[in-house]
Chain A
Amino acid sequence: MEKRVTFKGWLLPMLLLAPQLIVSGVFFFYPAGEAVWQSLFIPDPFGLSMQYVGLGNFEYLFNDPYYRASFVTTAVFSTLVTLVSMIPALFLAVLADRLVKGAGTYRTLLIWPYAVAPAVAGVLWLFMFNTRIGVVAFYLNQMGYDWNHVLNEHEAMGLVVVASAWGRISYNFLFYFAALQAVPKSVIEAAAIDGARFWRRFFTIVLPLLSPTTFFLLVVNIVYAFFETFGVIHTITSGGPQQATTILVYKVYADGFVGQDLGSSAAQSVVLLVVVGFLTVLQFKFVEKRVHY
């Protein structure tokens, strides 16, 4: 779509674009280019010179069992975060949709967690599951379950998944609720007349009608789990125990800043660039579908 009526000149539009372009160039494109460039070199131990190694950093990276493990960790983590945030959200949205009165109040209450930063959510969940004073840990102990996410890898993973998914339930709820409200009531009523009970109607009619929203949310939540959960991991587990919760983004940080392994960190950045590119394309494809639906 293009405007028919436009203004003349090229200097003014360039000036208007300048702030955005300068910021993008200096803080986005140059650093991204630098990451690609650095990924082809290794600095000597004193940081005085760089040695060109071609794809050596990548070869090294993919031969590193910890890095490969981090891929698996990220896949498991993002799958779980997506499921744990979408299923309860859909359930709550279905409930809210059934209500004529009060849905607005519930919605207001359910929006809260969205506003809570992932890092703050991490601290809240850490507090509940703290091995010394956490309430939930205490009652688990009373029931004979020895909770210790500091040592147990599965418990650590479970905790960061729930803490990451928690705020996303609000987000997914809003989208599902809006989508449910848009489902034509006549379709549902027709099925009801045919004698289909609520859950049957839900699985055979409503859920398929929601699929564009579901696809969209799947992609968006995976992107979230990949890139925006750093705060949760950093506050709760710092990637441990034994790197059991070290997702890719956490590893770039840990290797680049804590470990000072610049070549490897740059190569990891490049790998992530490819992942983001792929996810963005995916996102646009599904959003496209959603819009045309």
Chain B
Amino acid sequence: MADMHNEPPPGMVEKRGSGLWLTHVLMIVGVLVIFFPIWLAFVASTHTQQEIAQAPMPVMPGSHLIQNYSDALFSGVNVPVATMLVNSLVMALGIALGKIAISLLSAFAIVYFRFPGRRFFFWMIFITLMLPVEVRIVPTYEVVAGFGMLNSYSGLILPLIASATATFLFRQFFLTVPDELAEAARVDGARPMRFFFDILLPMSRTNIAALFVILFIYGWNQYLWPLLITTNPEMNTIVMGLKQMFPSGDDIADWPVIMATSILAMIPPVIVVISMQKLFIRGLVDSEK
């Protein structure tokens, strides 16, 4: 089939000449249109406030890149953007690794043990799928406030950490692991946790990596939850703090710094997605199954 794809017999499936050329042109136009908002943000992050305020703003980068980015990173508006980047990183890593860890353990328990209530617990985890944070914001906020976890990393991470999706994914994968491996481990007298760490975990590497890409982006891009529980600017995440950089009332927003911040806010997830593209696509498809 691949050969046919490369050299289509003439007249069968047109993939030549003007058709191909037109396809490329349309594709490039599509990519440009999709990219335009990001390009414009980047351009704005390299100009002065005056240059941007003079409509129409330039469409090519200016000379203030370093100044705007260092302004953003080290002074920011309410808090240096560097601080918000660290907070976002802690939150995204905490959520991604936390979800993976507790899901691996639960999937292991559900697949490799028989114990009373197994089915019940499985369904309990399943039902969390139906309780997104947007649906339970006020009571969840009250719980977190009750624990004194407002403005803390644990408050940012813990309430988002249960994961039905990750648990299912690992369960699915464990079920495909040959029984002989567990049998051999049992005959050798290996304890369950030994089997888990020495055999199951190394075998799950690719699944873990693929899931990590998806969950890192999920954690990094959270907005509503940090908005509710981080009243102290020192604890703001970058995605949520971006909006806080806009002045209230009629003051003019500091667009160059705001746009530099939005570029900084998208760089880490973009790097993760682009550099781990194959894993990302795999994770995307897997986690939606």
Residues of A within 8 A of B (CB): 1, 3-10, 12-14, 16-17, 19-21, 23-24, 26-32, 34-35, 38, 88, 91-92, 95-96, 98-100, 102, 106, 108-125, 127-128, 132-135, 138-139, 166, 169-171, 174-175, 178, 185-186, 188-189, 192-193, 198, 216, 220, 227, 230-231, 234-235, 249, 252-253, 256-257, 262, 265-266, 269, 272-273, 276-277, 280, 287, 291
Task: Give the docked Cα–Cα distance between A108 and B270 (Å).
Answer: 10
B27-44 interface code vs A (CB 8 A; 1 in, 0 out): 100110011011011001
Contact of B31 among A38, A109, A175, A265 (CB under 8 A): A109
Is there contact, CB below 8 Å, between A95 and B30? yes
B102-117 interface code vs A (CB 8 A; 1 in, 0 out): 1101101111111110
Is there contact, CB below 8 Å, between B239 and A117? yes
Query: In chain A, what residue has the closest Cβ to B270?
Result: A115
Q: How far is the CB of A159 from chain B (nearest CB, A)?
A: 12
Is there contact, CB below 8 Å, between A34 and B142? yes
Q: How far is the CB of B13 from chain A (nearest CB, A)?
A: 5
Task: Give the docked Cα–Cα distance between A127 and B277 (Å).
Answer: 29
- Chain B interface residue count, CB cutoff 8 Å, equals 108
Is there contact, CB below 8 Å, between A124 and B135? no
Task: Give the docked Cα–Cα distance between A24 and B98 (Å).
Answer: 13
Is there contact, CB below 8 Å, between A117 and B221? yes
Is there contact, CB below 8 Å, between A120 and B262? yes
Is there contact, CB below 8 Å, between A115 and B266? yes
Q: How many A-B residue pairs have CB under 8 A?
A: 306
Task: Give the docked Cα–Cα distance between A125 and B57 (Å).
Answer: 15
Contact of B115 among A13, A99, A127, A234 (CB under 8 A): A13
B123-163 interface code vs A (CB 8 A; 1 in, 0 out): 01100111110111111111110000000000000110111
Is there contact, CB below 8 Å, between A6 and B138? no
**B74 in contact (CB, < 8 A):** no
Task: Give the docked Cα–Cα distance between A30 and B284 (Å).
Answer: 30
